[in-house]
Every structure is written in structure tokens, then in C-alpha cells.
Amino acid sequence: MKLHHRISFKKLIVSTFYALIISLLLVPAQGKAQWGGYHAFATDWEINLHLGMTSFYGDVTDNKNRIYNNSPFHRYFYEDRGLAYGVMLRKNMTPYYSLRGVFLRGKIYGSSDRYKLYFNAVTNHYYLGANLNLSTLMLGVDDNRPWELYAFAGIGFNDSRTWLYDATTNELKSTNGFGPERWLRSTEGMARATTIPFGLGFSYEIHDNWSFNVETSIHGVNTDRLDAYVSDDTKTEGFGYSSLGVTYHFNLPYELNFRRYPRTPRRSNDPAIVEYNKRRQVVMDTKANRRAARHRYKRPDRKNFFDRLRDRIRLLRRQW
């Protein structure tokens, strides 16, 4: 039963990654209608700093890799947690998806009453990936929506160094990640393995250039030595990571655009126009106007899933 459970965990990692990649290949066709098939390189960048906790999935743990065990209602939620932090650089490509590059550094802990072992490890985790904007996909494009629900996946590398101890005597039993010195380094090289992370996130804009986000993810690592303990149960281990972050939105210099467009300010700074827009917003913000706006024509790229479904039903009725 244990062997079957861990093989399923590996299949879940791979299948989720492929599902998100296929979704990203299908979504850009919708994004081109909104963005004219091109989006400037220098605009819509983000840098994010995040801090969170890790939880280990593998051999040396009594966690059993169950969802309930990782909830605040179980004691394992408060045990064997490691602190981690990192930075993410993100480029918004269309309203539907964006690209991300992530570096994560932290500690991983695990203990097992069954094996009478415990370990601690340090890890450097870096990968390239993509975000799929679920809120835009389901509700349509809305430039004024302050929140975003998204899924993400990626592929990269995990460098780790591990110390495994006997839980009874505290004797060092095994280590991993003390390999030959690497180029331009005077210390022993850490153990490197490929990784496929995936997860969910939620962000909320608190200012024009600032937002905060929460993420939870699973990072599958293609090794059985993340805990320095090799078994016949599985060849894949990993860790979960839940974090809080703050994001700064910015644009690069206009000269970095590969294709130049004339600069057009989004809003006028003229005091009279600013005052007019404020009054217009108050006048237009009525219940009758909002009701009428729901029945106005919407461009196809701004329709959500339910709008498209309703249009499809109407078309079928006409054909019948």
C-alpha cells in the first residue's frame, strides 16, 4: 500500500505539470484578440519577495503525505516545518498567462518513528515556469479586477545538502550533498536533481504598483536522497511550500522594447479632466447603469465561460 501511494504521488506531479502546459498552449489564441498578437517587452514586469514554510514528502517522515495531515487541524502541521524565502521575477504576457523565474532557499526537516531517524537539509531551488490566470479564464478580462487566482507549474533544479541522524543516539548516520568542488567554488558541491513544482496562488492589489500574494505548492524532486535515506519504496521525493509575499509592479525603460509604439498616457493629468472623471464616476455608479451594463455588447475576448456558454445555447436554438 505504501508503494502504491508514493507512485501515485509521482504520477500526480507529472500529470499536473503536463495539464498546465497544455492549457498554456491553448490559451494564447484567446489572448491575441485582446493584445493584438503582440505585447511590449518592457511593460508589465513584477518582482516578488516571499517567505514561508516547507514540509517534507518522502521516506523519513510520519506525515504519510495526506492532505488532512497538512491542515492546521493535525499535529503534523506544526512539526517538521522549515523556514524558506525567495524571490520571483514575473513577466505578464497576456491577460491569461505569464512567465516566472523563481529562486528559493530554505531548510527541510523530517522525522520518522518507524525508522527511528530524523534529518535536516538545506536547499537551493530555482526554476522557470508559467502562470495560468484562472480568474480571467473563468470570469473574462477585467482591467479593474484587483485580485487574481492562478495556477502555476515549472521545471528546474534543486541543490540540497542533508544530514541524517539516529533518533535514539543522535549519531550521524549518513549525509548527502558533499560532492566534488564545483567551478568557481571552494566548497563541496551540493547534490543536484531536476524538479517539477506546481501549485496555486492568490494575489490582491493594494496599490497601483503593489500587491500581496499567498501561494501553496508541491515541489517534486527527482531523487531518493533528499533525506539521505535510500529505500525501495520510491525514487521521487519532494517538499511542500506555503508562503506569503509582496509584489512590486514596474516597467522597464521604453528603449528596451523590441518594437516601438508611440507613448500615450493612460490618464490625463489635467486638473479639469481629473475632476470631470471623478464626477462622472459618481454619476455613472448607479444600480440602473450597472444593470444596463450587463446587457451591453461584450467583445468575445472579454466574455467569461458562462457568457460563451449562453451564446452557444442561443446559437443552437436558432439552428433548431
Instruction: State residue 204's pLDDT score.
Output: 94
Instruction: State residue 7's pLDDT score.
Output: 42
Q: How far apart are CA 61 and CA 81, in angstroms?
A: 12
- Which of 48, 107, 119, 57 is closest to 83 using CA atoms? 107
DSSP 19-67: HHHHHHHHTHHHHHHHHTT---TTSSEEEEEEEEEEEEESSS-SSTT-T
Strand partners, 213: 203, 245
> Is there a contact between 121 and 238 (Cβ–Cβ < 8 Å)?
no
pTM metric for this prediction:
0.70
- What domains does the chain contain, in order, with CATH numbers? 2-254 (2.40.160.20), 283-319 (no CATH)
Would you call 221 helix, strand, or coil by DSSP? strand
Instruction: State residue 54's pLDDT score.
Output: 92
Per-residue pLDDT of the chain (320 residues; tens, 9 = 90+): 343 444 455 555 556 555 655 555 554 444 443 443 345 778 889 999 999 999 898 888 877 655 555 555 666 667 788 999 999 999 998 888 899 999 999 999 998 888 899 999 999 999 999 999 999 888 888 878 899 999 999 999 999 999 999 999 999 999 998 877 665 555 678 899 999 999 999 999 988 789 999 999 999 998 889 999 988 776 778 998 999 999 999 888 776 665 555 555 556 667 777 777 766 666 555 666 666 555 555 666 666 667 777 777 777 777 66
Instruction: State residue 143's pLDDT score.
Output: 78
Instruction: State residue 4's pLDDT score.
Output: 41
Alpha helices by DSSP H, listed for the chain, are 2-26, 28-35, 134-139, 271-284, 287-293, 305-319
Count of other CB atoms within 10 angstroms of residue 207: 8
The residues near 35 (Cβ < 8 Å, ≥ 6 apart) are: 94, 95
Instruction: State residue 35's pLDDT score.
Output: 43
> Is there a contact between 38 and 245 (Cβ–Cβ < 8 Å)?
no
Alpha helices by DSSP H, listed for 191-267, are none
Q: How far apart are CA 60 and CA 167, in angstroms?
A: 11
Instruction: State residue 3's pLDDT score.
Output: 39
Q: How does the average pLDDT of the chain come out, rounded?
A: 78
